[in-house]
Chain A
């Protein structure tokens, strides 16, 4: 398909018609150029400056970057995002796939179940965090409830345990996003050619083998989408951690997003904050750009 040619024509009105499309697109382009790409450039520059509380435009080379990499908290944040991201992506993908396959067995009330699995996605992370903070509250929440049910020695205090707190965030995050991943897999399953499965059944393959050998391999694009979406959500995760643990106990659940926020707005260390933000952008860009490129490269003759 060729570019839609502007119809030929003379006169002011027709010239205006020819320019209108670009004119209408331009406000958005200006906004995006300034507020996205301009800001990215500004933040990147600041990460090479001496900026503290106020921006300072003298070049300081890699000073902020070396301070960032020397920071103990940043090390924890990187470690946490790695642990959190990995567990989050793997759990959501596996659980989502499992639920999708189970739901794809001509289930009664499939619609109702789907609605139940998906609703957490409509909630704010702050609401989710508040709810799970209460649910896992060591004093009054799950621990006490289970003890009241007769298991006196039951103990569940991960929320206040520096070594375990990050896992509570994983649990809440998985609870929130699994339904969405399930929906993606379900859509993928529904898109598979039924005749191929009939052929496999005629060949005598048992159901589990059909899934393992024929169906799941065909869901590869869905896996890719799921991983990209989840990774992107994980790196951006900020709200949930603030609401559940506030990054604590201590710095135990700090992630790059909370690190950046606290250096930017509480510690007035603009330079380091900018460097950490640029790092986050770089990771996401490395992930998203190839994905977007492959998704948008539609065959157009």
Chain B
């Protein structure tokens, strides 16, 4: 039995249908990240789990118990808010201990609990300060301390890092991950940042327009996206989406991609059975930038490599990598190459396509064209 079960949950605000039947199950110790663009309903869903928004339809079960009607304070849930929501007139210790105080925990016990959490988060020296005297990162820690001290069954995080600067955000991300690994807590975490989702989650739920697009492990969502939206949303730089035509070339299924004067015939490796039905039809090919590279960097053990000389449009060095832009199917395509001797714009250079990582989508419905059982990648993993 799953630990947190979101069972066909709907939300209506007056006329608008904000959540259109969300189904998610996670196990104890899971780190679920709800990710999606703003307005996708992820924060509403989180507030419903917390009990701060009512559930219009459907059921919410925590550890087998229906919690729809339970008051927020009785759900054994703690939440870290985007604005941190620290009580401005209370000291850090007062903030952390407030929840315990409301639950009538004796003072001595409270003090010990505050001390324990402060040590865990390394904020012992801040306990007597007021929130106004803290930096952004410190406030973030206090907000987490306030949640941790209650030792709840479930932690909720509502975009907790979005108010921090870039460097601090990365540091805190690491810390949250370490904390999760050490304490083995169950977490539901909302963010619009797909990198945060990838790095933190054991389960990612990608949402759009009040609907769940895909639920799975980070790797599954990344490698095996359910549709064009998930493919484009996850990953940075994002997946190259190139129009192509499926064709049969001497018994071999290929995707024909226009490349300037010539046409590339990329062999189809994944989802071959499904794509056979698409012969002579337009599809949208998805190729991660790291699946297009230079011949020396290409991974020849795992996959099938297809090489071609293409004209370089633009070169973007990032230090660690070199992104080379070329044009396929009328679209600028990003390829990740080894830094070192960059090709010059206007010249031709050799690209190596790892076609075993190539996926295809229906350009009309935007859905993935996939064979029901795909041996190459784990299928959408609802429960492990």
So, do A and B actually touch in the complex, CB under 8 Å?
A: yes
Using a CB–CB distance below 8 Å, which chain A residues touch chain B?
A: 2, 5, 7-10, 14
The reply to whether B69 and A8 contact each other, CB–CB distance below 8 Å, is yes
Partner among B54, B68, B69, B70 whose Cβ is within 8 Å of the Cβ of A5: B54
Centre residue among A2, A8, A14 by max chain B CB count within 10 A? A8
Which of A2, A7, A10, A14: most chain B Cβ within 10 A?
Answer: A7
Task: Tell me the complex Cα distance, A8–B71, Å.
Answer: 6
A33 CA to B51 CA, complexed, in Å: 35
Whose C-beta in chain B lies nearest to the C-beta of A14? B71
B13 touches A2 (CB 8 A): yes
Q: Which residues of B contact A (CB under 8 A)?
A: 13, 51-55, 68-72
Specify the chain B residue showing the minimal Cβ separation from A3. Answer: B13
**CA of A9 to CA of B68, assembled, Å:** 9
B27 CB, min distance to chain A CBs, angstroms: 26
Docked-complex contact A8 and B51, CB < 8 angstroms: yes
Q: Which residues on the A side are within 8 Å of B68 (C-beta)? A: 8
Query: Which residue of the partner chain A has the closest CB to B68?
Result: A8
Listed A/B pairs (9) with beta-carbon separation below 8 Å: A2-B13, A5-B53, A7-B71, A8-B68, A8-B69, A8-B70, A9-B69, A9-B71, A14-B71
Q: Bound complex: CA of A10 vs CA of B51, how far in Å?
A: 13
Query: Do residues A8 and B54 form an inter-chain contact, with CB atoms below 8 A?
Result: yes
Q: Which B residues are CB-close (under 8 A) to A14?
A: 71
Closest CB pairs A-B (n = 10): A9-B71, A7-B72, A5-B53, A8-B69, A8-B54, A7-B51, A5-B54, A7-B71, A2-B13, A10-B69
Q: How far is the CA of A7 from the CA of B71 in the complex (A)?
A: 6
> What's the least CB distance linking A176 to chain B, in Å?
37
Report how far A243 CA is from B70 CA in the complex, Å.
64
Task: Give A2 to B53 CA distance when docked, in angstroms.
Answer: 10
Do most interface residues of chain A lie in helix, strand or loop, or is the interface mixed?
loop
Measured between beta carbons, the chain B residues less than 8 angstroms from A8 are: 51, 54-55, 68-71
A198 to B70, CA, bound (A): 58
How distant is the Cα of A9 from the Cα of B73 in the complex, in angstroms? 10
Contacting residues, chain A, for B51 (C-beta < 8 A): 7-8
A130 CB, min distance to chain B CBs, angstroms: 44
Residues of B within 8 A of A9 (CB): 69-71
Given A2-B13, A7-B71, A8-B70, 9 other A-B residues pairs in contact with their CB atoms under 8 A:
A5-B52, A5-B53, A7-B72, A8-B51, A8-B54, A8-B55, A8-B68, A9-B70, A14-B71
A14 to B73, CA, bound (A): 11
- List the A side residues contacting B13 at CB < 8 Å: 2
CB-CB under 8 A from B72, the residues of chain A are 7
Residues of chain A with a CB closer than 8 A to B70's CB: 8-9
Closest chain B CB from A257 CB (angstroms): 44
From A2, A10, A14, name the one whose CB has the most chain B CB atoms within 10 angstroms: A2
The residue in chain A whose Cβ has the minimal distance to the Cβ of B74 is: A9
C-alpha gap A10/B70 in the complex (Å): 8
A279 to B71, CA, bound (A): 52
A14 CA to B70 CA in the complex, in Å? 10
| Minimal beta-carbon separation of A242 from chain B (angstroms) | 45
Give Cα A14 to B54, complex, Å: 14
Q: How many angstroms between the C-alpha atoms of A269 and B189 in the bound complex?
A: 71
A5 to B54, alpha carbons, bound, how many Å? 7
Complex contacts, B52 vs chain A, CB 8 Å: 5, 7
Q: In the assembled complex, how far is the CB of residue B49 from the closest CB belonging to chain A, in whole angstroms?
A: 12
**How many whole Å from A78's CB to the nearest CB in chain B?**
48
Q: Closest chain B residue to A11 by CB distance?
A: B71
With A and B bound together, what is the CA distance between A5 and B12 in angstroms? 12
Give Cα A14 to B53, complex, Å.
15
Taking the nearest CB of chain A, how far is it from the CB of B4, in angstroms? 17
Contacts of A7 in B (CB 8 A): 51-52, 71-72
Chain B nearest CB, measured from A15 CB (Å): 11
CA–CA, A8 and B72, complex, Å = 8
A125 to chain B, nearest CB (A): 38
* Cα-based distance from A259 to B245 in the complex (angstroms): 88
Max chain A CB contacts within 10 Å: which of B13, B55, B71? B71
Q: How far is the CB of B311 from chain A (nearest CB, A)?
A: 42
Q: Given the complex of chains A and B, what is the CA–CA distance between A8 and B70 in angstroms?
A: 6
Tell me which residues across on chain A come within 8 A of B55, comparing CB atoms.
Answer: 8
CA A10 – CA B54 in complex, angstroms? 13
Which residues on the A side are within 8 Å of B53 (C-beta)? Answer: 2, 5
Would you give the shortest CB distance from A19 to chain B, in whole angstroms? 15
Assembly CA distance A211 to B69 (angstroms): 61
**A21 CB to closest chain B CB, in angstroms?**
15
Bound Cα distance A201, B71 (Å): 60
Specify which chain B residues have a CB less than 8 angstroms from the CB of A2 in the assembled complex.
13, 53
| CB closest chain-A residue, reference B13 | A2
A8 to B56, alpha carbons, bound, how many Å?
11
Chain A residue at smallest Cβ distance from B39: A301
Min CB gap B74→A, angstroms: 8
B151 to chain A: closest CB distance in Å? 22
| Interchain nearest-CB distance for B264 vs A (Å) | 45
Task: Return the chain A residue nearest B67 by Cβ.
Answer: A8
Q: Closest Cβ of chain B: how far from A14's Cβ, in Å?
A: 6
Complex Cα gap A93–B54 (Å): 51
